[in-house]
Structures are given as structure tokens and as C-alpha cells.
Amino acid sequence: MALLEVQALTARHGLLEAVREVSFSLDEGETLALVGANGAGKTTLLRTLAGAHRAASGRISLNGADVSDRPSHERAKLGIALVPEGRRLFARMTVEENLTLARAAGRPGVWNLEAVFEAFPNLRSRRHSRAGSLSGGEQQAVAIGRALMTNPDVLLLDEVSLGLSPLVVDRVYKQLRTMMTGGATILLVEQDLKRALGVADRVICMLEGRIVLEGRSGDLTREQVTDAYFGLGRGEAHA
């Protein structure tokens, strides 16, 4: 049984269907990359999975239980954590305060302050600094660390490289690879196709709210993904 299963999920912004009849599954310990151009529906899909956006129809199951009608704070307690696009930290609170807020989920597990500082050692010396004073890379590390502090079963990462320098992105992805090797289950939204194909077990490409390509990373060429990304439609692959 899949850890996360999505069936015929549709989500709207007013009359616009941003996510259209999307179905996929995510197994424990798997990393699934979600790619597509701006406006493809990726962020809306992640927000809908996390409960931050209401689904119009469809089903979301976590560990076999239907969570489709659960609010976001209940989904967090059940094991779904979202690192949103733009990080959305509490700028006037310290790094440590931002991290410890996540304890409200009340889930037991290996992730605590010390574990986060081990994973992101650059945060240790900044633990008492206000989040708003941090660099973009440090803020992204705090955002990921905050999600990990809930000890999630599924980690949803939205555009982790957005607005960061290539060097900083390399550092963030180094830590992500460590988590992936450790068995984390991750759904990753990423516009950098090279990075997405490099870290993910499987890739889904969305176009205008729909899945237009799905397959294992090793079975897909960059050309196939690029064609699907831009809607050129020269062949599909399915896992």
C-alpha cells in the first residue's frame, strides 16, 4: 500500500481548475519530483495535499486513511508537512523559536532541535538570530528544518531553489540527499530539471493542471521531460 495516494484530485481558484483530475501514489522512502512551467498547478497541488487549499473533488489518502476533508493542522499531526514557496517564516522570531513552533504537531520521532542543527550546521550559530536577518539559503534551511520538526511521514517541498544562488542551492540539495538516503519520503516541486532528475526516483510533469508525463527518472530522457514541460507531446512514459 502506498504511503500517500491521490485519486482524481481537482482544485480550483474560482472558476479556474488549477489541478485537474490528478492521480498518483508515493511509496515510503521514495522521492517524487513534480515539474512543470509556471502556472502548471504544482504549488496548488502541494497546498491541496497539505490542507492549505480546499479540494473541489477527489481523494487524498495517507497510510490508507482518507484525509481529504481534514484541515491543515490535523494533516500535520497525521504526518504531512509542507515547506511552502517563499519559506514564510516568522521574521521577528528567532531561528530557534521558528523551529520549536513546529512541536505543536506533537509527533514523536528523530527530528528535534539538535537533529536539525546537525543536518543544517550553519543554523547552530544563528539559533538566536531573527529569521528576517538571515540569508536566503539560511531561511530555506530554517523552513525545511521547521517542517522536519513535525517528524513528518511525507515532506512536501515547494521550489526549494527559488531565488537562491547556485552555490547555496548545492548546499541545500546536499542536505536533502542526506535525508533521502536516510529514507525520507519527499514530494519535491522543482523547476530545475537537471536537479529534479538527479535526485528523484520518479518524475511527474504537469501541464495546465494535468499530469502529462510520469515515469522513473532513469527511464526518462531530458528531451522527453522538456517536451512534456512545454506541451510538445512527443511521447509519454508511465511507471
- Residue numbers of the domain that contains 61: 4-229
In whole angstroms, give the CA distance from residue 138 to residue 229. Answer: 30
**Does 239 reside within a domain?**
no
Residue 129, pLDDT above cutoff 70? yes
Q: How many CA atoms lie within 13 A of 40 on its CB side?
A: 23
What are the pLDDT digits (tens) for 25-68?
Answer: 999 999 999 999 999 999 999 999 999 999 999 999 999 999 99
**Does 168 reside within a domain?**
yes
**Does 213 reside within a domain?**
yes
> Which residues in the chain belong to E strands, given as ranges?
4-13, 16-26, 31-35, 55-62, 65-66, 80-83, 154-158, 186-189, 202-207, 210-216
Of residues 178 and 94, more confidence is placed in 94
**Does 206 reside within a domain?**
yes
Residue 18, pLDDT above cutoff 80? yes
Do the Cβ atoms of 48 and 217 come closer than 8 Å? no
Residue 236, pLDDT above cutoff 70? no
What are the pLDDT digits (tens) for 171-230?
Answer: 888 888 888 888 899 999 988 888 888 999 999 999 999 999 999 999 999 899 999 998
**Best CA proximity match to 24, nearest among 210, 223, 231, 228:** 210
**Does 31 reside within a domain?**
yes
pLDDT the model gives residue 233? 60
Structural domains of the chain, count:
1
Conformational region of residue 85, where left means phi above 0, alpha means psi within -120 to 50, and beta covers everything else: beta
pLDDT band at 102; cut points 50, 70, 90 = confident
Q: How many CA atoms lie within 13 A of 180 on its CB side?
A: 19
Residue 83, pLDDT above cutoff 70? yes
Say what angle helices 166-181 and 136-148 make with each other, to 10 degrees. Answer: 20
Residue 234, pLDDT above cutoff 70? no
Domain CATH number, residue 89: 3.40.50.300
Question: What are the residues whose beta carbons fall under 8 Å from the beta carbon of 229, sequence distance 6 or more?
Answer: 35, 36, 37, 193, 205, 207
